[in-house]
Structure 1
Amino acid sequence: MNAGVEAQITKLLSKYQNAAAAKRDVLLVVANYRSLSYKLQQYVFNDGSAKDLFCLDGTIPVVYKNNTYYIPICIWLMDTHPNNAPICFVKPTPTMQIKCSMYVDYNGKIYLPYLHDWQPHTSDLVSLIQVMIFTFGDHPPVYSKPKEQVAPYPASTFMPQPGGSGAGTGYLPYPTAGGSGGAFPPYPTRNNFGSYPPYPTPGNVNPGPNASGYSGYMNFPTVPGYNSGYNPTNPGSTGTITEEHIKASLISAVEDKLRRRLEEKVNQYQAEIDTLNRTKQELVEGSTKIDAIIARLQREEVEMQKNINILRDKEQELEKSLESMENSEGIDPDEAVTTTAPLYRQLLNSYAEEAATEDAIYYLGEALRSGVIDLETFLKHVRQLSRKQFMLRAVMQKCRQKAGLAG
C-alpha cells in the first residue's frame, strides 16, 4: 500500500470516532478493489441535515450469465463506523436504468441482510462488497436503456474507469458515433419496427484496453424484449428483427420469468417447511413435558388418596376414643398408667421411687443450706437415701437387661 494513500485516508478519517478501525477497513477495500476511489463528501440525510462523510465511489465486478459487468456503486461510511452499518447506493450512468428489486429501491439505495444484521466486531466492507457481487449476480440492479431513451453526452462528459483512488486521471471520454480506433462499432440505425437495438453486449463486442489497462467498461445486461438481429461485427447489416428473433427473445424472457418465480416459490415453501418443522419440534417437546406433568399428577393423586384413607381411619379412631371417654365415669391416675407385664411394672415402680429419692436428697441439701437441719442429721438421712437410690438403680438396670431394652 502506497504510504501517501494511507496518509490521505488517515487525514480524511481523522474526525471519525473509531478512526483506526475505519482506516483498517478502508485500506482492505482499496487494496482489493482498485476500481473504487475515496473522498470526503457531504451527505444529506432524509431530515435535511448534512454531514461530511467518507465515501467509496466506483465500480465492482459482477458476473451475470457468465459475463462480467461493472456495477457503479457508492458506499458512505457513518462517522461511527464500524459501529453502524454504511449507507450504500447504486449510481447508474445516463445510459443505465435502475432495476428495482427487494435489494435496490427506485432511488438506487441498497438493502441487504448483511447491512441489516451488521455487527461492529465481525462485519467489514470487503465482506459487504462480496455480498453485493454475489447478490447482484442473481439480481442485476441496472440495465442498459434503449437508444431513444439515452440523453446525448455533453462534449465535456467523462465516464470513470477503474484504476484505484486516483480520481482525476482515470477518466476517458464516452465513445462517439462511428467508433474510435475500432474500439466500439457505430451506433445501429433505427430498425424496421421503429425502435433501436440495445447496446452491444460482452458476448459479441470485445473493445480494446484503454489507458488504464481495463477493457469492456459498463457493458450491462440489456432490457428483455430488445434482443434484435443487429450484428455489431457487420455494421452494414439492416438490423431487421425476424420472427425467429422475436420468438427466441420471448422464450428467453418467459424462461427467466418462470425461473425467478419458481425460485421465489421454492424459497417461500422452504421457509414455510422450516417454520413447520420448528413448530413440530416445539409441539413434540411440549407434548413430552405435558406427559411428564400428567404422570407426576397421577402419582400425586394416588399418594393423596392413600393419605385421605389414613386420615379417615384416624378420624374414626378418635371418634371412638371420644365416645368411650364420654361414657366412662372417671379416670384413676394410678390405674391409667398400666404395664403389659410384671417386669415392666417393677421397672416403672423402681424408676418412680428412684426419682422421689433424688428429690428427697435435693430438699435435704436445701434444708442444710437454710439451717433447718444440722449437718449430722443431714449426713444420716443422705447416707440412707443414697444407699436406697443405689439399690433402685441396680434393680432398674437388671430389669432393662431382662426386658431386652437398651442400656
Structure 2
Amino acid sequence: MVQPSSTPPPNSQQTLQFLSFVLSQRGPSSLPYTEDTKWLIRQHILSLVSDYPSLEPKTATFTHNDGRSVNLLQADGTIPMPFQGVTYNIPVIIWLMESYPRYPPAVYVNPTRDMIIKRPHPHVSPSGLVSIPYLHNWIYPSSNLVGLVVNLSSAFSLDPPLYSQRRPNPNPTPSPSINCGHHPPPPQGPRVAHSAAGPYPPSPYGRVQPPQQSQARPTSTDDAAEAYKLNAMDKLAEMVHGNIIGMRKAREVEMEGLFSAQAVLRRREEEINKGLKEMQDEKEALEQQLQFVLMNTDVLDSWIRDNEGKTKNLGKNNVNVEDTIYCVDVLSKQMLECTAADLAIEDAVYSLDKAVQNGAVSFDQYLRNVRLLSREQFFHRATAAKVKGAQMQAQVANMAARISHFVS
C-alpha cells in the first residue's frame, strides 16, 4: 500500500481527446467495443477520472485464456482505502473487456515490488484477480465504474488485500506487516494478467472466485477448457440473437404483407356492402312497382267485369249514347260537367273571334260577351281544380287501402 501522492490530476480535456481518438479509430487498430456502447464507455471513464484523478485511462494488450490478444481500454492507478484512520492507496488495473458495459470489467490488484498479496483473502486471488459482490451483481446500464471503485474501496477497507514487506537482514526470516510509510508509485506500463504465484486469467464476466487454501488450484488445461466453453456459449448466444433478429425481420415483412391484404379485403368488403345495399333498394322499388301494377290490374279487371255486358247491346238501335259512358262517383260527374262547360265556352269565344273578323258582330258586343264568358269559364276551371284535388286525395286513400289488402 502506498500513501496518497501529490501528483496533479491529468487534464480532463486531454483525457477527453484521448478517449475520442481511441474510440473513433477504425481498422485493425480499432478497439473491439460495439458502436452503440462507445459513447457510454467514454462517459463512464470520464466520470471515473473526474471522481478519482489517480486513475489514468490507457490502452494495452490483454491476453485471454485461449491465447488471443486484444487491445483494450484500462484504468491504471490507485484507489483510496481508509484503514484504521489512515487513507492508503491500493494500486489496481481495471480492464474494460470486449463485452463492457453489458458485462462487468476485470479488476486486478497491481502490487509493487515491495508489496505482497494477503493469503488467503476473501476478494482477491493470489494472481491479483478481484471478485466482489458488485461485480457478481453487475446490472446494465445502472452499474458503472464509479460505483465499482466505491465498492472496491469499501471492501478493501474491511480487509486490506496488500501488505508492505520490508527487506530483512540475510539471517532473520521476513514477515509481512502493514507499513504506513511512503513508497514509490506503481509502474504505469501495461501489465499482463499473470503472476509468479500461478496463472489466474481474467474472465470478462467477472465470475471467477478466488481459490481457497483447502481447494486444489486449477490447471491451465482446466482454464483453457473453461475459456473455450465460455467462448462457445458467447458464440452460440450471438448466433441465436442473429437468428432471432432475422426471424423478426421476416415476420415483420410477412405482417406488412398481411396488413396490406387486410386493407384490400376491407375495401372490397365496403364495395360489396355498398352494392348489396343498392340491390336491396332496387328490389324494394321493384316490389313497390309490382304492387302498383297488380293494383291497376285489379282495377281494370273490375271495370271490364262491370262493363262486359254492355258491349252485347251495341248493335241494337235502342242503345243510348249517353249511357255508354257514365261517371262512377259524384266527383267524376262534377269534373266532367266543369270540363265540358270550359270547352264549350272555349268554342264560343272562338266563334265570336270569327264573327268579329267577318263583321257579323260589333266590337263592343264582342267585348261584352267575351267578358261574361271568361268570367264563367274562370269559375268552371276553379271548380275543376278543387275537384281534381279531392279526386287525388280519394285516389291515394283508395291505393293505401288496396296496398294493405295485398300486403295482408
Same fold (TM over 0.5): no
Normalised-by-shorter TM-score class: 0.3 to 0.5
Q: TM-score, normalised by structure 2?
A: 0.38
TM superposition score normalised by structure 1: 0.38
